[in-house]
Amino acid sequence: MIALESLASCLQGIIPAWLYTCSRDGVPNAAILSHVDYVDSRHVALSFQFFNKSKRNVSENPKAMVRLLDPDAMKAYRLKLRFVRTETEGPIFESMRLRIEAIASYSGLKGIFKLLGADIYEVLSVDPIEYEPGLPGAPGGTKPEPPPPASVPFTMKALQEFSDRIHQAATLDCLLEAILETLEKIFGFRHSMILLATDRPDRLEMIACRGYPEGGVGSEVGFGEGIIGMVAEARKPIRVSGMLRHMLYADAVAKRAEARGLCPKDRRIPLPGLAHPETQLGIPLLARSELVGVLCIETDRTYRFHEEDRAYVEVLGGYLAIAIQNALLRERAEEGEEPPARPRPEGTPAAGPPGARAGLRPRIEVEYYASDECVLVGGEYLVRGLPAKILWKVLREHGADGGVEFTNRRLRLDKSLQLPAYKDNLESRLILLRRRLEERCPEIRIAPSGRGRFRLELGAKVALTERP
């Protein structure tokens, strides 16, 4: 029998499979399958999401057949199966559940499009299908070659190099940049983002991203929403290949569910980055059992992961979490003393003169909504929560005394900011604020000016309005 392990590419859900079953009274049935999961060398798992004809058939007659297609060679295989049992817990079930629920939440189907069970089948035989030989081989082949699949990059050598580069990062800001840059340069992942836990429960906020022209720092994701939220909730890595096809499948379910009034419209949540990702991989950043954040990698081409990659990915996530947490602790420990003179020295401009940097607005209106802890600039949402409170405090103080130098320590001592006494993540909030300003309001800059210090730089006249 052909080893199941040699069919790893077929078992990634990149191209749907077909399931053939037969009822007790001899009526055959064919059904499309979005994913066949590898269990071990003798078993596969199929998702049980609806009590459909296939499920009824295997309940009364355990014999089944699956047609699998190799997405690289387009060669087809026939797997003769025998239904063994349905699992409703355990690692196989959990891995399938997370993937399905991540897709479901993108389509507004959370709670409807869900895994009821992982049906475990014994594989009795694996045979190539003679009349579906796939693409001709290179020697003598006359047909065009398929695009080569992305190679699997998780090797010890690559991880070592990754680690070396990250060690060189002196600050949290540099570390975040180094992580994303290295993911591209060593592993070839051009689209990635890091989201960190916020001061609000069950929310993550994007603090750094790479490969997205429109940015997105400050975007929020709730636990359980999409692949990132599911990773945060379950604290397990999730990988989805063939995203477009999975989304189309889920959309078909959503349309029928909406038509029957089973789910409201407009519950969809946007994809976090690429409009049409082919693969998404979410990695929990866990340090000492604490969720520091989530690393999300996207590819716009099909990417092959293998079972052993999961272990590498989990090691990588743990390593990055500790590096981020250490950077936060180090910056707090080394933060600067209060500057001796807060008012600006005589003759020194309080900030850059209005219009000093090209393309800036000469005047901006900054509004702070106290009840929502939210800042708007020119009527457009900028930031909320702790970063909003920090920005408001800094701008007001500058307006009152012209001070431009601030320290993290001073912010920590300010009771109005209501920072938690333990693990306030102030440094990450400041990075988020700085990046958010760079993206959305370049007229205001908070530039690092030393360990635990930053300088306010204004490129426009700023009018402040506080609203309830």
How far the first Cα of the chain sits from its last, in Å, is 72
Distance CA 92, CA 280 (A): 19
- Asked if residues 357 and 459 have their Cβ atoms less than 8 Å apart, the reply is yes
* Interface with another protein, residue 257, by CB under 8 A: yes
Tell me which stretch binds another protein (CB under 8 A): 56-64, 318-326, 378-386, 437-445.
Answer: 56-64
* Interface with another protein, residue 26, by CB under 8 A: yes
Residue count of the chain, please give it. 468
Q: Closest Cα partner for 318 from 356, 289, 286, 345?
A: 286
Distance CA 468, CA 369 (A): 6
Q: Closest Cα partner for 183 from 167, 159, 152, 204?
A: 159
Angle, CA 107 vertex, CA 101 and CA 108 arms, to 5°: 85
* Interface with another protein, residue 413, by CB under 8 A: no
Phi/psi zone of residue 378: left (φ > 0), alpha (ψ -120 to 50 degrees), beta? Answer: left
User: Which residue is listed with tokens 């060669």?
Assistant: 75
Tell me which stretch binds another protein (CB under 8 A): 72-80, 161-169, 212-220, 338-346.
Answer: 72-80
> In the bound complex, what is the minimum distance in angstroms from residue 127's beta carbon to another protein?
11
Q: Between 24 and 167, whose beta carbon lies closer to another protein?
A: 24
Which of the residues 276 through 335 are near another protein (CB under 8 A)?
278, 302
Which of the residues 145 through 174 are near another protein (CB under 8 A)?
145-147
Residue 147: both structure tokens together: 């695009």
Q: How many helices (H) and strands (E) does the chain have?
A: 10, 20
Phi/psi zone of residue 366: left (φ > 0), alpha (ψ -120 to 50 degrees), beta? Answer: beta
Q: Three-state DSSP class for 297?
A: strand
Q: Between 198 and 279, whose beta carbon lies closer to another protein?
A: 279
* Interface with another protein, residue 253, by CB under 8 A: yes
Q: Write the CB contacts of 77 (distance below 8 Å, at least 6 apart in sequence).
A: 2, 7, 10, 67, 68, 69, 70, 126, 127, 128, 129
Which of the residues 181 through 200 are near another protein (CB under 8 A)?
none
Q: Between 47 and 198, whose beta carbon lies closer to another protein?
A: 47
* Interface with another protein, residue 248, by CB under 8 A: yes
- Asked if residues 108 and 256 have their Cβ atoms less than 8 Å apart, the reply is no
> In the bound complex, what is the minimum distance in angstroms from residue 268's beta carbon to another protein?
15
Alpha helices in 65-143 (DSSP H): 91-106
Q: Between 246 and 384, whose beta carbon lies closer to another protein?
A: 246
Tell me which stretch binds another protein (CB under 8 A): 65-73, 169-177, 414-422, 456-464.
Answer: 65-73
Q: Between 61 and 163, whose beta carbon lies closer to another protein?
A: 61
Tell me which stretch binds another protein (CB under 8 A): 188-196, 253-261, 285-293, 325-333.
Answer: 253-261
Among 244, 329, 370, 463, binds another protein (CB under 8 A): 244
Q: Between 132 and 397, whose beta carbon lies closer to another protein?
A: 132
Q: Which residues bind another protein (CB under 8 A)?
A: 15, 18, 20-22, 24, 26-32, 50, 52-53, 57, 61, 63-65, 67, 71, 74, 76, 78, 80, 113, 129-136, 143-147, 244-245, 248-249, 251-257, 260, 262, 278, 302
